[in-house]
């Protein structure tokens, strides 16, 4: 049987395999349960915060890549709206308060050396600076500050994806990009939609 599991996480019955969507997948032996394991998926988020022509970056204090510099970010919790997640990550890792403006871009990654195949989507947002000064008070951070792109070139270990995102955010300053939007009418809690020329921050 593929994978490390032996029992269904929903009903505790033994697991087996079945064909679903053209692939053999881990599934519950109890047809009434219906559990099928489609894979390991995670969503990450990060924020580009620009103030006076300088972008906020933090120095990682933990592995992997301890000592490298990057824009603040982390994983989105399963019960957390992504807009709240990126603002939380920026605040926790840097002490800076900022508000989501739009989406800069995203990175999709397939694979993973820990635990077997995995898929991760990493969304990068542009946030408007509101208040606060960079701080390394978070236990996972060794340093934090606002730097120009030229200053970053002199800092060893600035991650390539972060520099790419900062350049995109600075170059597209006049464009709203994919911005938080609304479908109109009430939506369930935690629902977020983004569109070109969006209406601005709104979680319906």
User: Is residue 184 domain-resident?
Assistant: no
| 114 and 21 share one domain | no
pTM reported for the whole predicted model: 0.82
Residue range of the domain that includes 11: 1-38
Mean pLDDT of the chain: 87
User: Is residue 16 domain-resident?
Assistant: yes
Token pair 């939609």 in the structure block, residue? 193
pLDDT tens per residue across span 115-141: 445 788 999 999 999 999 999 888 889
User: Is residue 188 domain-resident?
Assistant: no
- Segment 70-82 mean pLDDT: 95
In 10 A of CB 25, how many CB atoms?
A: 16
Q: What is the pLDDT of residue 45?
A: 97
| 10 and 83 share one domain | no
- Nearest partner of 55 among 76, 70, 68, judged by Cα: 70
Rounded CA-CA distance 44/93 in Å is: 14
| 13 and 45 share one domain | no
- Nearest partner of 127 among 97, 101, 156, judged by Cα: 101
Q: What is the pLDDT of residue 38?
A: 86
DSSP β-bridge partners for residue 27: 16, 36
Using 50, 70 and 90 to split pLDDT, how confident is the model at 201?
A: very low
| 124 and 23 share one domain | no
| 132 and 67 share one domain | yes
Supply the CATH number for residue 94's domain. Answer: 3.90.79.10
User: Is residue 197 domain-resident?
Assistant: no
Instruction: Look at strands 69-70 and 54-60 and give their pairing.
Output: antiparallel
DSSP state of 174: T
Distance of CA 133 to the CA centre of its chain: 23
User: Is residue 194 domain-resident?
Assistant: no
Task: Tell whether the model's pLDDT for residue 114 goes beyond 50.
Answer: no
Rounded CA-CA distance 44/88 in Å is: 12
Q: What percent of the chain has pLDDT over 90?
A: 61
Q: Which two tokens stand for residue 54?
A: 């300088």
| 27 and 97 share one domain | no
| 135 and 45 share one domain | yes
Is the torsion defined by CA of 7, 12, 18, 20 positive or negative? negative
Token pair 């919790």 in the structure block, residue? 77
Q: What is the pLDDT of residue 181?
A: 77
Rounded CA-CA distance 194/179 in Å is: 5
| 81 and 134 share one domain | yes
Q: Strands (DSSP E) along the chain, which ranges?
A: 15-20, 23-28, 41-51, 54-60, 69-70, 73-75, 97-110, 119-131, 141-147, 178-181, 193-196
Q: What is the pLDDT of residue 43?
A: 93
| 31 and 64 share one domain | no
Q: How many domains is the chain partitioned into structurally? A: 2
Asked if residue 138 lies in contact with residue 73, where contact means CB atoms within 8 angstroms, the answer is: no
Task: Tell whether the model's pLDDT for residue 173 goes beyond 70.
Answer: no
- Segment 12-18 mean pLDDT: 93
Q: What is the pLDDT of residue 204?
A: 34
User: Is residue 117 domain-resident?
Assistant: yes
Asked if residue 101 lies in contact with residue 127, where contact means CB atoms within 8 angstroms, the answer is: yes
| 13 and 111 share one domain | no
pLDDT tens per residue across span 80-92: 999 999 999 999 9
- Segment 152-176 mean pLDDT: 88
pLDDT tens per residue across span 183-199: 777 777 778 887 876 55
| 4 and 73 share one domain | no
User: Is residue 134 domain-resident?
Assistant: yes
| 54 and 151 share one domain | yes
Task: Tell whether the model's pLDDT for residue 203 goes beyond 90.
Answer: no
pLDDT tens per residue across span 93-112: 999 999 999 999 998 888 76
Q: Which two tokens stand for residue 76?
A: 């989105």
Task: Tell whether the model's pLDDT for residue 39 goes beyond 70.
Answer: yes
Q: Which two tokens stand for residue 158?
A: 């600035």
Task: Tell whether the model's pLDDT for residue 74 goes beyond 90.
Answer: yes
Q: What is the pLDDT of residue 174?
A: 63
User: Is residue 191 domain-resident?
Assistant: no
């Amino acid at each position: 049987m593929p994978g490390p599991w032996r029992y269904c996480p929903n009903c505790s019955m033994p697991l087996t395999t079945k064909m679903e969507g053209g692939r053999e997948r881990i599934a519950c032996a109890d047809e009434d349960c219906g559990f099928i394991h489609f894979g390991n998926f995670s969503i990450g988020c990060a924020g580009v915060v620009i103030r006076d022509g300088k972008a906020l970056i933090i120095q990682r204090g933990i592995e992997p890549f301890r000592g490298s510099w990057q824009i603040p970010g982390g994983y989105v919790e399963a019960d957390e709206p992504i807009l709240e997640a990126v603002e939380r990550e920026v605040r926790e890792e840097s002490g800076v308060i900022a508000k989501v403006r739009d989406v800069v871009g995203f990175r999709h990654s397939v694979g993973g050396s820990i635990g077997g195949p995995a898929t991760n989507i990493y969304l990068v947002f542009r946030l408007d600076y509101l208040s606060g000064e960079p701080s390394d008070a978070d236990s996972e951070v060794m340093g934090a500050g606002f730097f120009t792109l030229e200053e970053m070139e002199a800092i060893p270990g600035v991650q390539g994806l972060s520099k790419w995102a900062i350049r995109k955010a600075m170059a597209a300053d006049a464009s709203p990009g994919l911005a938080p939007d609304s479908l109109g009418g009430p939506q369930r809690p935690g629902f977020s939609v983004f569109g070109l020329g969006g209406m601005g921050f709104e979680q319906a």
